Structure 1
């Protein structure tokens, strides 16, 4: 059995739902071999059309796992709809020497407050809870009030952020070059009306522009906010009045994700949790210490006014009903709430939600896919789990190993796929903007920006010649 992860891995995936199918597709495009076990006939037929070894049956069956090649596999990824099936599959996989990753939804199997880690007792090297991964992303965005999106780079040491210019912002109509940024803050690009512009081609800043920056320290966020006319409290001058930043947050839905967000922030923000279900409300009251829990419908205009929710800074809709989440956000906007976020069931709806007025839409499925892929492929190719609003651009962080074929070459001599470009480079812990004459060096973390149709070409450009995959 070969468990060393080199140029090509053999990965067994248990479950061919949205998450399993996307992971299989991504691994195939990276040149890895994949087997998939699926019990549902329709999903099985869909996965059969891919270049995988498809096994129809229960993923917890030792025979099915053996037929899938578990004895020679490098890794098992268990993402069926059953936590118990995922656990059993991992126990069997671990006994065969595989690295194991499992998606678990039930809090009964997760340590308090932990949804990403390992559970050695069940033979799992990595456990991912979609609710916790999603809650972490939402909480991080809420703690950076002026930002539309944010994501960690350089294993948490650096940050990529997207900042939107609203009405009355003092930097409107100014040139980017006139804005004094702190050292360590690099402007990668500007998204304008769905088009991504290089900094040198932006011209005067316009209403709605989204500035995409890389910061070599989270501590620089406040300085960047100040540079772009955002107050220390996160507010921006709008039409002569001051928006006060994030003070009150309304969570619609006492779901696992909603409660996780409230738990993380209730000691720092005024948190209100709303739900139409009496039992869920009582559970929220039992587990939350400071948050206010309201039994009611967020779309009820009278209740919204009576509870004074119109002055909330943010409303986050986390229910399992995507349509209700959208309606809650749109009505909240009309009632005075400054910013809205919504969880969407189908990843394809994310862009639609943002186009019709929801400030940020989050897909737990795609966040789970991204998180698992990062941990399968390590940090050579890793996505920040952020698709930049309106532009369909994905940010990739590429760790340059000394075996990479482009080491020693100048950036200007590398033919990047159409639409993809280097936003910045993190070198020695510092963010820099490379010129076409700068040389690519081992240890560089290249921050690539690529549209969806060029994403896999970028990954292949960096991965096929290096042989540096590792399991984190």
Structure 2
């Protein structure tokens, strides 16, 4: 596949790097020196210029001979102009759109059709979806609805010094049926779980679970108090720091839900008095706006942050988001979530005591890559831990795989078939299990293995 990417910021860089890693040809267009410098070490054709220029797209980037255009420039308008040109020349188009008013509306035909847009990604929407996952199912990291298994979920459990599994190898951990530890993340990086791995304090385990309600008690006995590890308690009281576009959108969504079924108490915190008054005037009365600093310990205590089921810091400053989460945690907040924009910081932040990291850029990269690389045999589901770990849904279509055991697939190291979906049955396999036609595999691997993994099944 040949892809043209407009924009060499962090998102463009990471999308390009991963596509190249998977063996695709990539052309990158950017008109800024710092963007060009960022991508200079990539094995890609690099063009300095205005991506919205038909001459740049057609004559230099070869858009007419390309399969895919991805627009991730800082300007939504530039991304859309590029998509119009690319679509006219037969390219599939994907764009990051921050302001969805540009593409949504009661028009006929659909604005996306007019604009030549096949798929778009809105970072705020992705981050909001992640926040609502935390609010609605606090014990879960993500659901796997795309895997067509509504009761299959992924939970992240943090292991502390008191956990009964510290110092034990995975093979010696008595996991309940219908569960599997798939990934282990620690300060040194992320790895696919293997039976000989010895578990350490502060490890984060990614566990695949079918019918979580049925195994919750037994899983708690196996790895520790899940109510403390994951925040099982229903989220009813939330403190939200910041008045960013994302924060205001979440507050409005909470107010809308409360108008139908009042069950969430939301306090929005803003340090600037003028901004606090402005936000208070546009939000419904059901949302309480507090004027104060999320890093002022006296303010935190006076306003009862220690009673929060969830504290979210969604300001534009990631350093403030991390610090305020740590202080809220010290005051007794049950769980904390910080908005972080630099993917490299995720490993650092996750070991500071912040419970949940929400990275809109990483979510954007993941969504774009999943759409860009989707085939009839493989589909991307999620990227985790700074994009180092990925989940692929793989369909067993080729005859040479029928009847073959997992151990004979010759998967690269650091790869794991966690689940087989066979018709309506969910199977947690071991290496001796054999594959059948039309099986769907839930496969965990590291991104460096993706090209090899996909070549096995396509």
1:447 lines up with 2:442 in the alignment: yes
* Partner of residue 28, structure 1: 20
Contact kept, 8 Å, 1:139 with 1:264, in 2: the verdict is no
1:346 lines up with 2:342 in the alignment: yes
1:160 lines up with 2:122 in the alignment: no
Aligned pairs for 1:313-352 (under 5 A) are 313-352=309-348
Contact kept, 8 Å, 1:397 with 1:448, in 2: the verdict is yes
How many Å separate the matches in 2 of 1:187 and 1:162? 12
- What SS class does the counterpart of residue 118 from structure 2 fall into? strand
Q: Does the C-alpha gap of structure 1 residues 45 and 137 become closer, same or farther in structure 2, counting only changes over 3 Å?
A: same
How many Å separate the matches in 2 of 1:281 and 1:155? 45
Match of 1:417 among 405, 412, 423: 412
Gaps of 5+ in 1: 1-8, 468-472
Aligned pairs for 1:54-453 (under 5 A) are 54-66=46-58, 67-109=60-102, 111=104, 119-147=112-140, 149-152=141-144, 154-155=146-147, 157=149, 158-164=152-158, 181=177, 185-189=178-182, 191=184, 210-216=204-210, 220-229=211-220, 236=227, 244-266=233-255, 267=258, 268-277=263-272, 278-279=274-275, 282-283=278-279, 286-288=282-284, 290-378=286-374, 380-387=378-385, 394-403=389-398, 406-450=401-445
Contact kept, 8 Å, 1:405 with 1:466, in 2: the verdict is no
* Partner of residue 470, structure 1: none
Contact kept, 8 Å, 2:390 with 2:447, in 1: the verdict is no
Q: How far did residue 177 of structure 1 move? A: 7.1
How many Å separate the matches in 1 of 2:143 and 2:275? 35
- What SS class does the counterpart of residue 423 from structure 1 fall into? strand
- What SS class does the counterpart of residue 385 from structure 2 fall into? strand
Contact kept, 8 Å, 2:147 with 2:393, in 1: the verdict is no
Superposition CA RMSD, Å: 3.5
* Partner of residue 453, structure 2: 462
How many Å separate the matches in 1 of 2:353 and 2:323? 11
How many Å separate the matches in 2 of 1:207 and 1:46? 36
Answer with 93-102 or 188-197: which moved more.
Answer: 188-197
- What SS class does the counterpart of residue 464 from structure 1 fall into? helix
* Partner of residue 3, structure 2: 11
How many Å separate the matches in 2 of 1:316 and 1:237? 18
How many Å separate the matches in 2 of 1:94 and 1:284? 43
Gaps of 5+ in 2: none
Q: Deviations for 1:313-346, whole angstroms, at most 9, x for unmatched residues? A: 1111111101111110111111111211111121
TM-score with structure 2 setting the length: 0.83
TM-score with structure 1 setting the length: 0.80
Aligned pairs, number: 434
How many Å separate the matches in 1 of 2:232 and 2:367? 34
How many Å separate the matches in 2 of 1:288 and 1:371? 32
